[in-house]
Amino acid sequence: MSLNKTFILHRLSFTDKIVIKKRQEMVEIINEYIKKYKLKNVLDIGTTNDKIFKSSNYVLKNLKNLKNYKSISNQKIYDFTFKDTLLKSITSNLDKNIIKKFKSDLTLSVATIEHVGSFENQIKMIANIKKLTSKVLIISTPNRYHPMEFHTKLPLLHWLPKKYHRKILNFLGLSFFSKESNLNLLSENDLKIILKKLIIKDYLIKKIMLFGFVSNFIIIARIN
């Protein structure tokens, strides 16, 4: 293995340890909240097939007292943990049969909403999640205004207006993350605008801290 590849893998492994630590904090917050509800099943939005990083699907794997797992993902899921899986975008139009089949007490989506494209797509995603939820929905996403951008590992550039941020990423050879369709970071205010638009009132936003700044938001909403 080349020295450069070894360095990259070491760096990614170090980053994954930080992600796991933060996701463990999420797990503790979520488990504390959901224990007061009788939740029999969970639908995971944005499940990954990744087997390399321990942080992949970490929150879902560590939820307590849930037995029946379903998934909607744009990746083909081979994990037999899931009773039902659907290879479909969460921003697409979900017909009544899909909603009936996949509707669950708890709907969970971790670090997915920032990857579904435009702000309109992000609204559509949460609207669909609301339709798929019987009792509680939980969505987590990185904070746009943390000094470090966790996908590119670059500091502060993402605080620029998005069109300039994307041009710089493209110039630096990070064309994948320069596209809105692949990365569209959200602020706390953005999330509140979406929730208000969708008339989701019974919610709280929990915050995960890293290096003294809010690194991630967790929306926890009760659906009646």
At residue 30, the pLDDT reads: 98
At residue 80, the pLDDT reads: 87
Given a contact cutoff of 8 angstroms between Cβ atoms, the answer to whether 122 and 193 are in contact is: no
At residue 12, the pLDDT reads: 57
At residue 9, the pLDDT reads: 38
pLDDT digits (tens, 9 = 90+) for 24-35: 999 999 999 999
Q: Where would I find the H helices in the chain?
A: 3-34, 58-61, 96-102, 119-131, 162-171, 175-178, 188-197
At residue 3, the pLDDT reads: 38
Cα dihedral 117, 120, 123, 128, rounded to 10, equals: -80
Question: In whole numbers, what is the pLDDT of the chain averaged over residues?
Answer: 93
Please, what are the domains in the chain?
3-143+186-222 (3.40.50.150)
For 142, the token pair is: 């990185």
Edge-first strand order for the sheet with 41-45 is: 82-87, 68-73, 41-45, 104-110, 133-142, 213-222, 203-210
C-alpha span between 67 and 58 (Å, rounded): 16
Positions of the chain with pLDDT under 70:
1-13
